[in-house]
A and B are shown apart, each in its own frame.
Chain A
């Protein structure tokens, strides 16, 4: 029982110490950070030499775009071919079914 009480007190002590360190750190570091002059970018200085300008070239990879374009073309063409094939198959089956009905009607 006493051991458990001791452990709890130790844990509470550690938490308190941590909070204290954080509060002190914030209290001492905050004003220091605030005192620092904000970093000025070359553009804020009013003049930027051309050779100091950041690279305007966009680093967008071309390969995924090329792959996507080719995939779209092939999926569209193949999808359409499959669509024609299935529609034609459906019509052919229907023609056969109706032809049988016509033939059966003719025999009567």
Chain B
């Protein structure tokens, strides 16, 4: 575990040292200027959130249909990270939008569906915390609905008219912006994987503790 945290610390230190340097030297976007630099953290945060929603959803399939305990530990860890990265996306987005669009929030398809998806995973965590015994399966079903939302959120900008840019922004980035962007994606996704592993480890240790308490009672 210490080794894992050491790797985490090294990744974080590398990110701290290098990501802002890369972002500062990245070219300014022609119409938005400086505020566009929020993009380098905003988009990777959503990528981490979507990945996490899929991890939680797929693990929940095994919980619902096979009653797998290990899958349940992965699901709860992934749900927590979905809420974390979703929160980062939902805060950084309006900060960017305030300058780019002139409003903090717009009830359009992309923003609203993102908020709904985030709320579904918040509901999952609330169910796990306050649902009592046997709420794992109910929560897992909620996670399936959360995962089903991901394609809708992703394609919403192409399907409906929204203020949010379409999905081709990343593919049409200027050459000078691609390097910093994919660096941030790699850093945040790497961080996401390490955080997920650490969180799953916590769930495993909790399960062991529960077994120990049962042994004491016996």
Partners in one complex: yes
**Chain A contact residues, CB within 8 Å of chain B:** 58, 60, 62-63, 65-66, 68-70, 72-73, 76-77, 80-81, 84-85, 87-88, 91-92, 94-95, 98-99, 101-102, 105
Chain A residues, Cβ within 8 Å of B34: 62-63, 66
**Chain B contact residues, CB within 8 Å of chain A:** 1, 5, 8, 12, 20, 33-35, 37-38, 41-42, 45, 81, 84, 87-88, 91-92, 95-96, 98-99, 102, 191, 195, 198-199, 201-202, 205-206, 208-209, 212-213, 215-216
Are B99 and A91 neighbours in the complex by a CB distance under 8 Å?
Answer: no
Contacts beyond the supplied A62-B35, A66-B37, A91-B205: 14 A-B pairs with Cβ under 8 Å:
A62-B34, A69-B92, A72-B88, A73-B41, A73-B88, A76-B88, A81-B195, A81-B198, A84-B199, A88-B202, A88-B205, A91-B206, A94-B209, A102-B216
**With A58-B102, A72-B88 in contact, do A95 and B212 touch (Cβ < 8 Å)?**
yes
Are B202 and A84 neighbours in the complex by a CB distance under 8 Å?
Answer: yes
CA separation between A31 and B34, bound complex, in Å? 52
Which chain A residue has the least Cβ–Cβ distance from B33?
A62
Chain B residues, Cβ within 8 Å of A94: 209
Which chain B residue has the least Cβ–Cβ distance from A60?
B99
CA separation between A64 and B91, bound complex, in Å? 14
CA separation between A46 and B138, bound complex, in Å? 64
State which of A80, A92, A101, A105 has its C-beta within 8 Å of the C-beta of B84: A80
Chain A residues, Cβ within 8 Å of B99: 58, 60, 62, 65
Chain B residues, Cβ within 8 Å of A58: 99, 102
What's the dominant secondary structure at chain B's contact region? helix
* Interface hub of A68, A84, A99 (most chain B Cβ within 10 A): A84
State which of B5, B81, B95, B216 has its C-beta within 8 Å of the C-beta of A68: B95
CA separation between A21 and B81, bound complex, in Å? 72
CA separation between A98 and B208, bound complex, in Å? 11
What's the dominant secondary structure at chain A's contact region? helix
Q: How far is the CB of B142 from chain A (nearest CB, A)?
A: 21
Are B201 and A72 neighbours in the complex by a CB distance under 8 Å?
Answer: no
Which chain B residue has the least Cβ–Cβ distance from A98?
B212
Chain B residues, Cβ within 8 Å of A84: 195, 198-199, 202
CA separation between A60 and B209, bound complex, in Å? 53
CA separation between A88 and B84, bound complex, in Å? 18
Q: What are 6 pairs between A and B in contact, CB < 8 Å? A: A66-B34, A66-B35, A80-B84, A87-B202, A91-B206, A91-B209
